[in-house]
Amino acid sequence: MRENLFYSDTFTLTPGDFDHYLRLKPYSIFNLFQEVASRVSTTIHEEDLQDRAWRLIRCKYIIFKQPAIGEKVLVETRALPTHKFENGREFKILGAGSDLLVRGQALWCIGDVAEKVINQEEEKGDQDFTFAPAPDLPVFKHQVRASDLDFFLHLNAARYGEIILDAMKLPKNEFIKQIQINFQSPAFVDEVISVYKANVENKYFLIGLTESKTIFKAFVKTNFV
């Protein structure tokens, strides 16, 4: 598959992109990534991409500098080298003067091999996702609503950023610098996701569970790390 395309577009940040401390929300960052990935996909017309169901396996970012409300930002994306059924993208969000605000990556794979890829990720033994939560101590619960859904009727990937922000409950002097989300299973309307959190040496580990499955695992660093 040819995926050597580079794409960029300009967006204006609105008040809705910021939290109550005027920091760019995780949802807004993931939504910008999602938007440019969607736009570049419309420029690809190869036959091997037709009628394929792609599933997001992992998405992450590091934020270097906070933008301001009303600021125009340039969001860039480029394809990373492909590996079998896996396709990755790198993202950058640039502010005024081409200052690097955010850098991120995402990994997709073809839907019918997604479970195999997820299992391989688990077998790597990533230390960021090894804690076992206490089953009776969720820090946050989210019931998936119709407004959360994408056109596949799954919880939209950007919405996970809202769930993580709500579960973190950070004070004013602590803010998120880095997030990685590993997507385990799709979530559907009316399902309730219980989120558990552990803090190990100032690194946060979160896992989202329903009664029957693991929905996501996440790793978060803040300015306190």
| 92 and 173 both lie in a single domain | no
pLDDT at 40: 85
| 219 and 192 both lie in a single domain | yes
With cut-offs at 50, 70 and 90, classify the pLDDT of residue 1. Answer: very low
pLDDT at 86: 81
b/e map 67-97, b = 16+ CB within 10 Å: beeeeebebebbbeeeeebbbbbebbbbbee
The verdict on residue 187 lying in a domain is: yes
Q: Which domain holds residue 184?
A: 125-225
The verdict on residue 117 lying in a domain is: no
The C-alpha atoms of residue 77 and residue 43 are separated, in whole angstroms, by 13
| 133 and 177 both lie in a single domain | yes
| 129 and 222 both lie in a single domain | yes
pLDDT at 111: 63
| 54 and 81 both lie in a single domain | yes
Asked whether residue 5 carries a pLDDT value surpassing 90, the answer given is no
pTM (predicted TM-score): 0.88
The CATH number that applies at residue 210 is: 3.10.129.10
| 203 and 173 both lie in a single domain | yes
The verdict on residue 116 lying in a domain is: no
Asked whether residue 220 carries a pLDDT value surpassing 90, the answer given is yes
The verdict on residue 93 lying in a domain is: yes
Whole-number percent of the chain with pLDDT over 90: 68
Q: What is the pLDDT of residues 151-162, one digit of tens each?
A: 889 999 999 999
89 forms beta bridges with 79, 106
pLDDT at 116: 53
Q: Which residues contact 64 (CB under 8 A, 6 or more apart)?
A: 100, 101, 102, 103
| Residue 78 or 120, more confident | 78
| 106 and 133 both lie in a single domain | no
| Residue 218 or 3, more confident | 218
| 95 and 159 both lie in a single domain | no
Q: What is the pLDDT of residues 20-54, one digit of tens each?
A: 999 999 999 999 999 999 888 765 444 444 445 67
